[in-house]
Structures are given as structure tokens and as C-alpha cells.
Chains A and B, each alone.
Chain A
């Protein structure tokens, strides 16, 4: 046992050294985001009484519960202060933990660096153990700092502890799941697909458990994403949920060790299959190649979007049931909206949120183009008669059409589920335009990444993901932080007409499309004139 762990300490130190930027940025970024958002909310609403009744209602609505989880105690200002960040932060933390594990396991193996390391005095389990140890430490540090931060700004101590524990449960679970996925998949992309796919499914499961009507109570406990909700910080304060995370991490680690014992370095568990001896008719030009490279990921994301749409559509009815309560309906009517419009508010909120996920697919597609370059594949293609413009255009085409397919699948899923549940949302004519209107903003996110690849290729990932995270924070939290309007205006999603609540409008649609096109053109021009490699 110990022999297989020789070298773990050295490898862990190497990992920390390599991640000396990523780790502090991740830990402090998530902590500051959560604590400062809580502080800002408390400053706005020091007591529950001061909190606008409308705000409480909105956070209690199923669409908000599906996104943010339930409010643990509507009478406690602390609980209201963290409602928006708790679920969001748990997801960020899950991604953070997974990213650290993947970086130091499958990615290292894929790039061939494990081979050098593995030839040294290093036990078979050491690299995985080191990666899991660093990721665990990073997750726990984030949770601990956030809990301390909450207590430091005067929030309830037991509640702060429970908030940290809930996050730790979810974060550690994903460290474990990523460790298993890194053994199952034979590529870093496959590992990403498995873990992020699991995150999506488990998030939806939690959303259904939290916001659905008539779902069994135990369902909320099945999803590790739901453990954050179940901690009910500043309410029931179930700090012990952290044990669920520790337990799942331990089980996953044992499973990962068992898998590791059975597989070869560099391989996954699935054996390499033989393929065709000749290229098929579609693998003929740059577009065929770009599609072939993005095919499985595009199909996976499209199916995910369809499922997301199905969940939105099937939750619509319970969302409306809640407004059947005459007191709430009356309140909302007084606030100026008709009950008839509530389904529209629900639809536009959910679609707006998921459209950002479609933009994430667009960014990963542009990053695949960049990876092609760093891995030396672009060089092979550009040494043939393919021009740079055509090469760039083919990757761009997959990103733009792929995001369109995703957004369409989202709308389609919503329509199908809603139709079978009674048509609360108003049919395809109302839902599909509401989904597709987000497309120009999604393309804008793609455009930012393309511009980065043209002019700052080494920073493509940082700029692409950074911009998306910025747009998300601005859209979701700009109001809480009291951000200036010009800052909010930088995010493309700010300008999208919130159909069907708002009417369709040409000017923002044309402007967003033009900006997206402009960014893409600028990026391709940059790509044409720079060195490859």
C-alpha cells in the first residue's frame, strides 16, 4: 500500500507549484464572490421586514428555486443574503475541484508528461492521490474561508459553518467523481464530458427535487449537488452533510484505485477499437474535419439541452400552481404584472440562464480549435492547400451552427414537455422565438473567444471563460452589487429582449448580431496574420 504511494508528497508540491495562480484565484475568487455578495445584500436589507415582499416572493417561486435552491428560512435575513450565491457557488466549487483533479491526472497522461514522472521513483497510485489531495485541500480551503468570512461579517456562526459544510459536501463529491472519470475516459476531453455531464444531470435532479411538485422527499438527497440545499444553512443548519461528501469521495477514490489497477498508462478502460481504412465521404475538407472533431461533443450538449428544455417545460405547471395562491397572485397583480404573464416571466428567466450554458459550449468549441493548434494538428492541415480563412471559417461554422442547434433543442424540449403537461407556456410559437432570440448574444460570447484566438492565442481559454463568467456575474448579480449601468451594458445578455415578457425588437437583435460578426471577423483576420504554433 505505502509503496504505491511513494512520491505523493513531491507530486503534490509540483501540482501546487504549477497551479500557483489557478489555486489562489479559484479559492479567493469564490470566497470573495460569496462573502461580498452576502455583505451587499445585508447592507441593502438589514432586516427581513425591510426586504421587499416582492423579492421574497420571487426567490420563493419555483423558477428561482429550480435555479438557486430553496430558501432555508424566509424569516432570517442571513438566509436571504446567501440564497443567490449558495447553489451557484456550489456549482463553481464542483467545477474547480474537478478541474484541479483533471489537470493533474488525465491531462498530464494525455500530454505524455506522466511517462517521465512514472519512470521516476513514483508509486502507481501517487499521481492520482496527489491530485485528489491538492483538489481536496483547495475545496476545503474555499469552504473554510467562506464560512469564516460569513461569520466575520456578523452572520450566524452555526449557519456559516453549515454553509461551508454544504459546499464541502458537493465540492468533495465532485473531486471524487472526477477521479473516477479520469480513469474511465482515455482523453482529457472525455473526462470533462463525463464529469460535466454528471454535474448537469445531478443539477437537474436537484432542481426537480427542490422545485417539482409531488416528487418523493428522498430524491433531494440523491444528488450531491442537492447536499448543498440540504445543509439548509441559516435554517436547519445540517453541518453533518459534509460527511456525505467525505463518504462519496472515499468510495470514489477506492473505485478509482481499483480502475487504475486494471488499466495501462495512457489508456482508458474502453479498449481502442479499429476503424475504417479509408476516410468517408464527409471527411473531405476542413469543414468535414471540424465537424468530425466536434461531432460527439455537439451531440452530447444538444441532448443535454433537450433534457434541460424538458425539465423547464415539465416544471412550468408546478410553477404556475404556486401562483394559484390568491394572496401571491394578488400581490403580483398589484406589482403591475398580470397572472397571465407569470408563465412568461418563468420562461424568460429559465431560458436566459440556460442560454449562457449554450455559450459555454461555444467557448469549448473555439478552445478545441486552439487545442488543434497547440497539439500540432493545425500545422498538418495548413501545410496542405487549405487556406487559413477556410480553416478558421470551418471551426467557426461548427461553433455558430452548434450553438444554434443547442438553443433550438432547448426550446424544442421545453415545448414538448409543456405540451404534454397542458401547454402552460403557450406552445411552440411562443417558446421557440423566446429561445432563439438569445442566439445573437450567445454568438457574441463565441465572438469574444474567436477574437482572442486571433490576437491573444495563449490567452484564449482565460479570455473566453473569463468573459463568460463576467457576463454571468453581471447578469445574475449586477443588481445586488449595484454595478454601474455601463458595466452591465458590456454583457450581451443585458440587451436581449426578454421574450415573451418583452416584445421582439429588431435594433438590439441586429446590433448583437453585428457585434458578434464583427468580433468573429476581427478574430479571423488576426488568425490570418499571426504565427501558427
Chain B
């Protein structure tokens, strides 16, 4: 069986704006896949192509083995979507919207709906115009999570949720994972991605710049090392070691950054000069993203 989402070389322009410029993305069955990138990178555009709302200009996009543009009705029975900007009908109640969306998809799990309403602490009798931003978000989340969809597409689903509700959301995504369903999660909240995702893809300006598990991505970055040495060598000697960068020598104190793959060799080289104190810091996820977003 093919992967739920397979995208290669996807292109999409709006007039002269190039939104997707040869994007690649593969999401495997049963994984929670983080989808990251700076503002305007093309995350929402990608998701909207997958939903058949936008027609791609070029490249390949396969959703659950089908064509997202032509096989709409059949594919959409198997997916659920939470948009980044949840716009609801102002004169319908939250409960009506949840039921409507479920019926349009082809069925509702009533017990799960009621459970979700309780856990998200959402009053379904309010008109949508009277909901706060976070509560509108919850309506869309309850509608998506109460379905039995095998693939869930979330575009910044927790923007606007309070920490308590964010927690409820994470618990539900964990449940989805144990049920073997698949999630594509676009998010700017790094802690959320770190806590939930099995793999992540980082895109910039419509192209994929990194893709892999968090552990794999960490290996692409550098560990910072600060040490006090008994017999400090010259800065040039240290800089000559493979995988060492940004050496600063201040008396007996040395700071440097080392490629995570070479950290063992660097530490033993330092050991030869008599380590008195040592602080070694693995890269934070934030540094990882900053590096991918900026360069």
C-alpha cells in the first residue's frame, strides 16, 4: 500500500507569486508528521492542494492513493480537516456545524462527539458568531476528531487554544496514533511538534529543506561546547580538528561548536589537554528550526 500522502515536485503559483516551488513531502501510514516553515512558506497552500481546493500547476500529489483533484468525494470520506483560520456560519450553532460537517462527510460517531464536547468544554448551543476564537477552533477540532477519518489534516490547529485545551488536543492526537491513523500537523508551536510528531518536514519558500525524524535532524546540527583546559592548545590547532567551528580561546577557557556527528572525537581531543570543567549543550529544537528557517 502506498503512503497516505506522497508529493513530489509540487508547483503552484498565484499570478506572479510562486507559492510552491517543487515541494516534496511523504507522510507514512500511522505517523504524526510535523509540517513546519516560516510564514508564507506554502504550508496552507500544500494542504489546500491536497484537499482539491487548489489545482496544482505541476508535480505529483497523491492522497490515500488517489488524485486529490479528481477523486474528491471518494477521498474526502476518509479524511478530516481543520483549517488555520476557522470561519464558521455566524447564524448556526456550534452543534449544528459539527453535525452538518459530519453528515456531509458521511457519518457521525455520536458517542465520540459528546465525549469530545465534554472534554473540550464546549457549549454546542451557542451561535458561532458568539464564540471566542479558541472556541471556534474547538468546534472545528471536535468536528474533525469525532470522525473516523483515516487521515487528519491540521493547519495550525491549536493557535488560540489555552494550555489546558492544548493538552486535551495532544491526548487526542496520541489516541489517533494508537489507533494507527495518520496526521499531517502544520504548526508554529515547536514544543507541540516535539511532543507529538514522529517525523517532521521543514519547508521554506515553497521547497522542502529538511525532512526526517527529530533525532535525524538533530544530527544535522552542532553541539556547543565550553571547557576550561589545563594546557590549552592554540586556537588554530583546535580549529583544524574535523567538525569543529567557531573556536574562541580566552586564556584557559575555550568555546567551540562541533558537528553532532563528530562530538566524540572532539571531546577526546580536548581530553588530551586536561579538562577541568566542561559544559556540552545539544542543539535545541529551536536552534534547529532557526537554522532551517533563516539560511
Contacts and interface: CB of A to CB of B under 8 A. Distances in A.
Given A278-B96, A383-B53, A377 B127 contact: no
B206 to A, nearest CB: 16
B93 A277 contact: yes
B42 interface: no
Interface stretch (A203-211, A281-289, A442-450, A501-509): A281-289
A285 B73 CA distance: 13
B35 interface: no
Contacts of A533: 48, 53-54
Given A276-B95, A530-B55, A384 B90 contact: no
Interface stretch (A86-94, A158-166, A267-275): A267-275
Interface in B71-119: 72-74, 76-77, 79-81, 83, 85-90, 92-93, 95-101, 103-106
A283 B100 contact: yes
Given A274-B125, A384-B104, A377 B72 contact: no
A337 to B, nearest CB: 51
Contacts of B51: 379, 382-383
B53 A277 contact: no
Nearest to B80: A383
A275 B96 contact: yes
Given A274-B126, A279-B99, A386-B104, A379 B83 contact: yes
Contacts of A380: 81, 83, 87-88, 101, 140
A482 B95 CA distance: 58
Q: Interface residue tally of chain A, by bracket?
A: 35 or more
A273 B97 CA distance: 16
Nearest to B51: A383
Contacts of B90: 187
B81 A383 contact: yes
A375 B87 contact: yes
B96 A279 contact: yes
A388 B100 contact: no
Secondary structure of the B side of the interface?
mixed
A285 B83 CA distance: 20
Nearest to B147: A384
Interface in B177-231: none
B130 interface: yes
A375 B80 CA distance: 20
B95 A382 contact: no
B17 to A, nearest CB: 13
A236 to B, nearest CB: 48
Contact of A276 (B48, B54, B125, B129): B125
A375 B93 CA distance: 17
Contacts of A377: 87-89
A293 B89 contact: yes
B105 to A, nearest CB: 4
A387 interface: yes
Interface string B32-55: 000000000000000010011111
A20 interface: no
A531 interface: yes
Contacts of A385: 72-74, 76-77, 104-106
Nearest to B144: A383
A376 B96 contact: no
Contacts of A292: 92
A284 B48 contact: no
Contact of B95 (A279, A284, A289, A529): A279
B9 interface: no
A380 B85 CA distance: 11
B134 interface: no
Nearest to B54: A531
Interface string A520-533: 00000000011111
Nearest to B72: A387
A289 B97 CA distance: 10
Contacts of A187: 90
A112 to B, nearest CB: 11
Contacts of A480: none
A307 B153 CA distance: 50
Given A385-B77, A533-B54, A277 B130 contact: no
Nearest to B69: A529
A289 B100 contact: yes
Given A275-B126, A384-B105, 13 more contacts: A276-B95, A276-B125, A277-B95, A278-B124, A279-B98, A283-B92, A283-B100, A292-B92, A382-B76, A383-B53, A384-B76, A384-B101, A529-B55
25 contacts: A274-B125, A274-B126, A279-B97, A279-B99, A279-B100, A283-B100, A283-B103, A284-B103, A285-B104, A376-B87, A377-B89, A379-B48, A379-B53, A380-B83, A380-B140, A382-B53, A383-B53, A383-B81, A384-B76, A384-B104, A385-B74, A386-B76, A530-B55, A531-B53, A532-B53
**Nearest 4 Cβ contacts at the A-B interface:** A376-B87, A279-B99, A384-B104, A275-B93
